[in-house]
A and B are shown apart, each in its own frame.
Chain A
Amino acid sequence: MSDETREGSLSTDETPGGSSAVAPATADTVIEVDDVNFAYVKGKDVLRDISMQINKGQVTAFIGPSGCGKSTLLRCLNRMNDLIPTAEITKGEIRILGTDIYDPSVDVIELRKHVGMVFQKYNPFPKSIYENVAFGLRIQGIKSKSVLDEAVERSLKLAGLWEEVKDRLDSSGLGLSGGQQQRLCIARTIAVQPKIVLMDEPCSALDPISTTIIEELITQLKDEFTIVIVTHNMQQATRVSDRTAYFYLGELIEMDDTIKIFNNPSRKETEDYVSGRFG
């Protein structure tokens, strides 16, 4: 199927067999996915021939129907899939800031400090708000109260939560509302100042008002971080992202500027999906 409509792709090449005809990485490119195959169980590739580039300071949305591999790819970017014993990249390379992150010399823990992640289900630790935000710094061994105070305040402000919680930093993070908890998780992630923030359907468990707040937050954050967001909600993709990648059955069908993807996609499958005829 993808062979027939190949000419539409601009920034990616998803030719089966992976000739890796990717446009050369520019200075702005922070994530390069180069002809990657990925399998949870040996012999069953769930991602095939994925190649893409993600640029600095942009919000990139991954869309596609359930099971298309968008979350899997996202979790490849900070090697969260390492937790599954048999999962591995069977082909290709993922380079972040120029380094092949699956190289044996890479320290996963260092990688994750630079590539933070916000999950679908907000999950603050059962600690105080302050300790939640300070967690990332504490595990890096930072003990100085002033550094921690400063980082907590900055991160909560960035996450737009400061005004709401500044008087109860010592109360449990679990006492907040759903939207607040998700923003607390975002604050916790950005407190360690990662370069890249991965978001796996961050709003799917939230009500519309909280969703709006988080979406605004995402657009503000892109000045400081490169954001990759997986979403089921196509309106959300149009609202928050600069570029959009459409996945289907483990393959990257098309990746382009969000406006183009939603208004004038190059590929028929993309058009079917974004127009709601399918998916």
Chain B
Amino acid sequence: MSQTAPTGDNKPNPEAGSVVFKRKGFQFMGLGTQDFIRFFFGGNASLAIIILILICVFLAKEAFMFFPQHHAGLKDYRQSGQEFVDYIGDEIGAHTNLYSSANIAYFAEVNRTSREEDDILRAHRAVLANLENLTSKTWGRFEREVDALEDVGDDLEDLDPAKEEDQPKIAALQEEKERLEKEIVKFRVELKEEVSAAINTNEAWELGVGSDAPPPESLPKLREAVLFEASPEVDEEHPYIAELKAVSKAKKAAAVEEFADFKATLKAMQDVVRPLKSLHSEIRSIASENKAVLVKLSTAADRKEAWIKGAAATKDPDEKARMLAEAEKVVIEAPDYDAMAEPFYEVIPEHAALIAPIDTEMAVLFQQLPDKVETRSAHENLKRAKVYYDRFVKTVAENRENIKGWSHEKPVSAVESVSSFLFGRDWITNSSWHDVYGLLPIFTGSLLISIIALVVAVPFAVSAAIYVNQLAPLREQNFVKPAIEFIEAIPSVVLGFFGILVFGETLRVVSQVEWLQWVPGFPMAERLTILNAGLLLAFMAIPTIFTLTEDALNNIPQALTENSLAMGASKLQTVFRVVVPTAVSGIIAAVLLGFGRIIGETMVVLLVAGNKIKIPDFTEGIGVIAQPTHTMTGIIAQELAEVDAGSLHWRALFMVGMVLFAISLIVNFSAQRVLKRFQKI
């Protein structure tokens, strides 16, 4: 081919060989357009990584500063003697738990005898109130008329019938009076009709549900009593109600008599701990004073430091001198720790003398609690009392050593400051006594909610995915899949709203149904519970798990299904022996990612979990799910906005965030490991 011939759009070039291979187009510093586009995208990717690293670094920095501060706090706690006081407080607390459980049992038993009457009376009150609501308008008018009639009567009395000039007025008033009287009679009839009409509506006839409902044979009489009392002429009680009240009162009195021993035991229990309580409150105030001194000391140091820092930053020499002078003025005087702790050492023998008889006497008193009770509530509360008694004994035994060996000088170890956070059983903030940051209450809350959510969501989501992907006809697939995936689009705050208003209330009402009482935790007293939050979170996790499981099933080659079917396997055999086992890694990963979604969810749990910072009471067994709780995510969202930046509380919340971060990290990491492991087969 000719080298110089201009063919097409190729420019002629004397060196044909080099023309062919030379780079064309935009060039800058040896880089072409493609390179720049590549760098642009690469840059974006690395920016994301850099931001992730920054987040980790700052989160970690804020969070881990928690431990030195926490350490200082614990040191103050010990030196002020608060620790010592709390040992005794623990004993009293354990005793109170035991006492109140037994007390509830006592009242349940006493009220049991008159339960039927009480139920009827309660229904009576409820129906009357409902009727009043329903007929309130007519009542209002009726009462206005009655008032007007009274006014007219008063006016008439003021006038003198003997006086000539008053005669026309009197006549007018008389006329008015007659009119009103007629009106009132008419209203009475009207009201009566309205009441008897209203009593037939469901709204009025709401008698309580489940075990609270009055016996059916009492209903006619109850109706009569209500009609009687609701009618406008009557002001007194219907004899039936009065009788019921008397019977209830008598039965209660008899029951009190019957359970006199029980009552005496309870009283003895309360009396025996009284001296310890007064000792506790005595030394408690000493510890409070000590604490105030220590807080003053640490704030003084902070202030001094702030002045010095400010001085270093200002350029104006006068201002600088003034600030340094201010700093000079702040005196940091270490208090006499030994003197502060002195009163507590004095108390040690006194406490030992007090606790020994309490211990032995409680053992006797506990045995005196009745074994056999009739009501379920009493039975459960006595069972709980048993648990609390064991805890009480344990607390006393432990604290005996703790109190004997207590020393205000004992250094707080680093391990202690970490473990008291990770395994601390209380989360108490803004307290006038001592702030405690223990992870366990919120951690157990998060964990319980997550477990419920997973237990509910996994079977639903996985089986829905299997059905939709493998068994459903195409038309159904095209409807169900988008429908489930749409759930994901519901804002969680909306879902939380729904959870409070609709779901929580429904759950509570359902829990009162009589034939469901075998379900642990039923009947539920609260709307905002672990169960409610768990179920809502399950609802939120279902689309995540569903979609990922569906993807995993989709990735199973069609050929495997065909092979199995060609072997004579039925559709179900194919699904459960070939498809699902092959997709199991994907399904496990889907569940783990669903768990990640659940544990990280904030809004719903904040709205629905009840936000009670307390380790749930596991003595109720599975019934624990009917209690309110708080979560790690919820507590951050709720408290972070209200705390001072840099304070111990602030850092504690960061630490909680760190723990959440670590959990998510572990979950994601294990999800990936699981995927890899199963892909090998």
Contacts and interface: CB of A to CB of B under 8 A. Distances in A.
Given A172-B681, A174-B681, A123 B559 contact: yes
B563 A112 contact: no
A126 B570 contact: no
A252 B176 CA distance: 112
Interface in A108-159: 109-113, 116-117, 119, 121, 123, 125-127, 135-136, 138-140
A78 interface: yes
Contacts of B254: none
A83 B562 contact: yes
A113 B565 CA distance: 10
B568 A140 contact: yes
B582 A192 contact: no
Interface in B254-290: none
Contacts of A109: 568-570
A135 B573 CA distance: 10
A228 to B, nearest CB: 13
Contacts of B573: 139
A80 B565 contact: yes
A125 B569 CA distance: 13
Contact of A185 (B563, B581, B681): B563
B564 interface: yes
A125 B578 contact: yes
B681 A119 contact: no
B579 to A, nearest CB: 10
B234 interface: no
A119 B564 CA distance: 11
Interface in A204-235: none
B567 interface: yes
A83 B562 CA distance: 9
A80 B562 contact: yes
Given A126-B581, A172-B681, A174-B681, A139 B569 contact: yes
Nearest to A185: B563
B501 interface: no
Contacts of A112: 565-568
A120 B660 CA distance: 50
A137 B560 CA distance: 17
B559 to A, nearest CB: 4
Contact of B567 (A110, A121, A189): A189
A123 B557 contact: yes
Interface in A57-96: 78, 80, 83, 85
A125 B562 contact: no
B303 interface: no
A251 to B, nearest CB: 26
B404 interface: no
Interface string B550-586: 0000000101101111111110010001100110000
A195 interface: no
A172 B681 CA distance: 6
Given A85-B474, A172-B681, A174-B681, A125 B563 contact: yes
B559 A121 contact: yes
A119 B562 CA distance: 9
Max chain B Cβ within 10 angstroms of own Cβ: one of A83, A136, A139, A174: A139
A21 B581 CA distance: 50
A78 to B, nearest CB: 6
Contacts of B582: 125-126
Nearest to B474: A85
A135 B557 contact: no
Contacts of B560: 123, 125
B308 to A, nearest CB: 70
A136 to B, nearest CB: 5
A191 to B, nearest CB: 9
A243 interface: no
Nearest to B567: A136
A125 B559 CA distance: 10
Contacts of A80: 562, 565-566
A117 B577 CA distance: 19
A116 B566 contact: yes
Interface in B325-354: none
Contacts of B567: 112-113, 116, 135-136, 139, 188-189, 192
Nearest to B571: A109
Nearest to A172: B681
A127 B581 CA distance: 9
A123 B564 CA distance: 10
B225 to A, nearest CB: 69
Contacts of B577: 135, 138-139
A111 B566 CA distance: 9
A78 B566 contact: yes
A83 B581 CA distance: 21
A121 B681 CA distance: 19
B613 to A, nearest CB: 48
Contacts of B474: 85
Contacts of A110: 568
22 contacts: A80-B562, A80-B566, A83-B562, A85-B474, A110-B568, A112-B567, A116-B567, A117-B566, A119-B562, A119-B563, A123-B559, A123-B560, A125-B560, A126-B681, A127-B581, A135-B564, A135-B569, A136-B568, A172-B681, A174-B681, A188-B567, A189-B566
Given A112-B566, A125-B563, A138-B577, 18 more contacts: A80-B562, A83-B562, A83-B565, A85-B474, A109-B568, A110-B568, A111-B568, A117-B566, A119-B562, A121-B559, A123-B560, A125-B560, A125-B578, A126-B582, A139-B568, A139-B573, A140-B568, A172-B681
Going nearest first, the 6 A-B pairs with the smallest beta carbon separation are: A113-B568, A117-B566, A112-B568, A123-B559, A139-B569, A136-B567
